[in-house]
Amino acid sequence: MIGPNGSGKTTFFNCVTGMIRPDSGTVSYRGRDVTGKASHRIAAAGIGRSFQLCRIFPRMTVLENVLAAARPRGIAALLGSARGAAEIDRARGWLHRVGIDHLEGAEARDLSYGQQKLLELAGVLMAEPETIMLDEPAGGVNPALIDRIAALVRELNAEGRTFIVVEHNMELVMSLSDHVVVFDRGRPIAEGPPDTVRADPAVLEAYLGV
Protein backbone atom coordinates (compact mmCIF):
# COMPACT_ATOMS: atom_id res chain seq x y z
CA MET A 1 0.00 0.00 0.00
CA ILE A 2 1.44 3.29 -1.03
CA GLY A 3 0.29 6.87 -0.91
CA PRO A 4 1.30 10.33 0.21
CA ASN A 5 1.69 11.09 3.90
CA GLY A 6 -1.71 11.54 5.50
CA SER A 7 -3.52 9.52 2.86
CA GLY A 8 -4.84 6.99 5.37
CA LYS A 9 -2.52 4.03 5.10
CA THR A 10 -1.69 3.74 8.78
CA THR A 11 -5.28 4.52 9.73
CA PHE A 12 -6.27 1.59 7.53
CA PHE A 13 -3.85 -0.59 9.53
CA ASN A 14 -5.24 0.79 12.78
CA CYS A 15 -8.81 -0.04 11.74
CA VAL A 16 -7.94 -3.59 10.77
CA THR A 17 -5.89 -4.33 13.88
CA GLY A 18 -8.30 -2.86 16.40
CA MET A 19 -6.20 0.15 17.34
CA ILE A 20 -9.12 2.40 16.43
CA ARG A 21 -12.79 1.62 16.00
CA PRO A 22 -14.27 2.78 12.70
CA ASP A 23 -17.16 5.26 12.93
CA SER A 24 -18.99 3.24 10.29
CA GLY A 25 -18.44 0.36 7.90
CA THR A 26 -17.26 -3.21 8.32
CA VAL A 27 -13.95 -5.09 8.46
CA SER A 28 -13.97 -8.79 7.61
CA TYR A 29 -11.05 -11.20 7.89
CA ARG A 30 -11.46 -14.51 6.10
CA GLY A 31 -15.20 -13.93 6.07
CA ARG A 32 -15.43 -13.17 9.79
CA ASP A 33 -16.63 -9.77 10.94
CA VAL A 34 -13.86 -8.29 13.09
CA THR A 35 -15.09 -4.69 13.04
CA GLY A 36 -14.09 -2.89 16.20
CA LYS A 37 -12.75 -6.02 17.90
CA ALA A 38 -10.02 -5.53 20.49
CA SER A 39 -6.44 -5.82 19.28
CA HIS A 40 -5.77 -9.04 21.17
CA ARG A 41 -8.78 -10.66 19.50
CA ILE A 42 -7.57 -9.54 16.07
CA ALA A 43 -4.16 -11.02 16.91
CA ALA A 44 -5.80 -14.26 18.01
CA ALA A 45 -7.63 -14.35 14.66
CA GLY A 46 -4.24 -14.50 12.95
CA ILE A 47 -3.22 -10.93 12.14
CA GLY A 48 0.07 -9.52 13.40
CA ARG A 49 1.46 -6.08 12.79
CA SER A 50 4.49 -3.87 13.19
CA PHE A 51 4.44 -0.13 13.71
CA GLN A 52 5.89 2.81 11.84
CA LEU A 53 7.89 3.65 14.96
CA CYS A 54 9.20 0.51 16.62
CA ARG A 55 7.32 -0.65 19.68
CA ILE A 56 9.76 -2.57 21.79
CA PHE A 57 10.66 -2.71 25.45
CA PRO A 58 13.93 -0.75 25.48
CA ARG A 59 15.24 -1.93 28.87
CA MET A 60 14.44 -5.59 28.30
CA THR A 61 16.85 -7.88 26.51
CA VAL A 62 16.33 -8.87 22.91
CA LEU A 63 15.28 -12.38 23.94
CA GLU A 64 12.90 -11.07 26.60
CA ASN A 65 11.28 -8.79 24.03
CA VAL A 66 10.49 -11.71 21.76
CA LEU A 67 9.24 -13.83 24.66
CA ALA A 68 6.96 -10.98 25.73
CA ALA A 69 5.25 -11.20 22.36
CA ALA A 70 4.45 -14.90 22.68
CA ARG A 71 0.84 -15.87 22.69
CA PRO A 72 0.25 -17.99 25.83
CA ARG A 73 -0.67 -21.56 24.96
CA GLY A 74 -1.74 -24.61 26.90
CA ILE A 75 -0.44 -24.84 30.42
CA ALA A 76 1.51 -21.60 29.98
CA ALA A 77 -1.78 -19.79 29.48
CA LEU A 78 -3.04 -21.23 32.78
CA LEU A 79 0.13 -20.41 34.66
CA GLY A 80 0.41 -16.87 33.39
CA SER A 81 4.06 -16.08 32.92
CA ALA A 82 5.35 -19.64 32.78
CA ARG A 83 7.89 -20.01 30.00
CA GLY A 84 8.94 -23.42 28.89
CA ALA A 85 12.18 -24.32 27.24
CA ALA A 86 10.29 -24.90 24.02
CA GLU A 87 9.05 -21.33 24.02
CA ILE A 88 12.55 -19.98 24.60
CA ASP A 89 13.83 -22.17 21.76
CA ARG A 90 11.11 -20.83 19.51
CA ALA A 91 12.05 -17.24 20.40
CA ARG A 92 15.69 -18.00 19.64
CA GLY A 93 14.62 -19.56 16.38
CA TRP A 94 12.88 -16.38 15.27
CA LEU A 95 15.85 -14.27 16.35
CA HIS A 96 18.01 -16.53 14.20
CA ARG A 97 15.62 -16.15 11.25
CA VAL A 98 15.77 -12.35 11.41
CA GLY A 99 19.53 -12.45 11.93
CA ILE A 100 19.99 -10.95 15.40
CA ASP A 101 20.32 -14.08 17.55
CA HIS A 102 23.86 -13.02 18.46
CA LEU A 103 22.31 -10.05 20.26
CA GLU A 104 19.85 -11.98 22.41
CA GLY A 105 21.39 -10.80 25.70
CA ALA A 106 21.67 -7.15 24.71
CA GLU A 107 19.21 -4.56 25.91
CA ALA A 108 16.90 -3.59 23.08
CA ARG A 109 17.76 0.10 23.48
CA ASP A 110 21.37 -0.67 22.48
CA LEU A 111 20.38 -2.00 19.07
CA SER A 112 20.53 0.11 15.92
CA TYR A 113 17.19 1.29 14.56
CA GLY A 114 17.30 -1.30 11.81
CA GLN A 115 18.05 -4.05 14.32
CA GLN A 116 15.13 -2.83 16.43
CA LYS A 117 12.92 -3.20 13.35
CA LEU A 118 14.11 -6.79 13.00
CA LEU A 119 13.48 -7.36 16.71
CA GLU A 120 9.95 -6.05 16.37
CA LEU A 121 9.42 -8.37 13.42
CA ALA A 122 10.70 -11.33 15.47
CA GLY A 123 8.15 -10.41 18.13
CA VAL A 124 5.37 -10.29 15.54
CA LEU A 125 6.41 -13.70 14.25
CA MET A 126 6.53 -15.16 17.76
CA ALA A 127 2.74 -14.88 17.85
CA GLU A 128 2.60 -17.06 14.69
CA PRO A 129 0.28 -14.84 12.63
CA GLU A 130 -0.81 -16.03 9.20
CA THR A 131 -1.20 -12.45 7.98
CA ILE A 132 1.46 -9.86 8.80
CA MET A 133 0.94 -6.14 8.36
CA LEU A 134 4.17 -4.13 8.20
CA ASP A 135 4.01 -0.35 8.58
CA GLU A 136 7.00 1.15 6.77
CA PRO A 137 9.44 -1.70 7.44
CA ALA A 138 12.21 0.07 5.51
CA GLY A 139 11.74 3.49 7.10
CA GLY A 140 15.02 4.70 8.60
CA VAL A 141 16.75 1.41 7.87
CA ASN A 142 20.09 1.09 6.05
CA PRO A 143 20.14 -0.62 2.63
CA ALA A 144 21.76 -3.83 3.89
CA LEU A 145 19.04 -4.34 6.49
CA ILE A 146 16.34 -3.43 3.95
CA ASP A 147 17.66 -6.28 1.81
CA ARG A 148 17.50 -8.62 4.81
CA ILE A 149 13.93 -7.57 5.60
CA ALA A 150 12.92 -8.04 1.94
CA ALA A 151 14.52 -11.49 1.81
CA LEU A 152 12.77 -12.49 5.01
CA VAL A 153 9.40 -11.31 3.70
CA ARG A 154 9.91 -13.38 0.56
CA GLU A 155 10.89 -16.47 2.56
CA LEU A 156 7.95 -16.20 4.93
CA ASN A 157 5.59 -15.51 2.05
CA ALA A 158 6.81 -18.64 0.31
CA GLU A 159 6.13 -20.54 3.54
CA GLY A 160 2.48 -19.43 3.46
CA ARG A 161 2.27 -16.15 5.32
CA THR A 162 0.60 -13.19 3.66
CA PHE A 163 2.07 -9.72 4.00
CA ILE A 164 0.30 -6.40 3.72
CA VAL A 165 2.92 -3.67 3.63
CA VAL A 166 2.72 0.10 3.87
CA GLU A 167 5.92 1.52 2.49
CA HIS A 168 7.36 4.64 0.85
CA ASN A 169 10.33 2.83 -0.66
CA MET A 170 8.90 2.33 -4.14
CA GLU A 171 11.64 -0.03 -5.25
CA LEU A 172 10.90 -2.30 -2.31
CA VAL A 173 7.14 -2.14 -2.84
CA MET A 174 7.38 -2.90 -6.52
CA SER A 175 9.83 -5.77 -6.00
CA LEU A 176 7.89 -7.44 -3.19
CA SER A 177 4.28 -6.98 -4.18
CA ASP A 178 1.87 -8.95 -6.29
CA HIS A 179 -0.91 -6.45 -5.71
CA VAL A 180 -0.49 -2.74 -5.01
CA VAL A 181 -3.13 -0.38 -3.63
CA VAL A 182 -2.56 3.37 -3.89
CA PHE A 183 -4.19 5.63 -1.32
CA ASP A 184 -4.94 9.31 -1.65
CA ARG A 185 -7.02 11.35 0.77
CA GLY A 186 -8.50 8.36 2.55
CA ARG A 187 -9.47 6.36 -0.51
CA PRO A 188 -7.80 3.97 -2.91
CA ILE A 189 -7.27 5.61 -6.27
CA ALA A 190 -5.66 2.68 -8.06
CA GLU A 191 -4.82 -0.95 -7.51
CA GLY A 192 -3.45 -3.89 -9.38
CA PRO A 193 -0.13 -5.49 -10.33
CA PRO A 194 2.92 -3.25 -9.77
CA ASP A 195 3.51 -2.52 -13.46
CA THR A 196 -0.11 -1.51 -13.98
CA VAL A 197 -0.14 0.77 -10.95
CA ARG A 198 3.19 2.31 -11.86
CA ALA A 199 1.78 3.47 -15.18
CA ASP A 200 -1.56 4.72 -13.86
CA PRO A 201 -1.93 8.47 -14.57
CA ALA A 202 -3.84 9.06 -11.33
CA VAL A 203 -0.98 7.51 -9.37
CA LEU A 204 1.63 9.53 -11.18
CA GLU A 205 -0.27 12.69 -10.40
CA ALA A 206 -1.19 11.97 -6.79
CA TYR A 207 1.89 10.17 -5.57
CA LEU A 208 4.77 11.00 -7.82
CA GLY A 209 3.64 14.53 -8.68
CA VAL A 210 4.11 14.22 -12.42
Partner 1 sequence: MSENQQPLLELRDIEAGYGRAALVLRGLSVTVPAAPSSAWSAPTAPGSPPC
Cβ–Cβ under 8 Å, residues 138 and 167: yes
The nearer residue to partner 1, 89 or 178, going by C-beta atoms, is 178
Give residues in contact with partner 1 (CB under 8 A). 6, 8, 11-12, 14-16, 20-31, 131, 153-155, 157-165, 176-179, 181, 185-188, 191
**Cβ at position 156, least distance to partner 1 in Å:** 10
Q: How far, CA to CA in Å, does 191 sit from each of 1, 6, 28, 34, 178?
A: 9, 18, 19, 24, 11
**Cβ at position 131, least distance to partner 1 in Å:** 7
Q: Which residues contact 13 (CB under 8 A, 6 or more apart)?
A: 19, 49, 133, 135, 166
**Cβ at position 15, least distance to partner 1 in Å:** 5
| Region at 136 (left for phi over 0; alpha for psi -120 to 50; beta for the rest) | left
**Cβ at position 167, least distance to partner 1 in Å:** 9
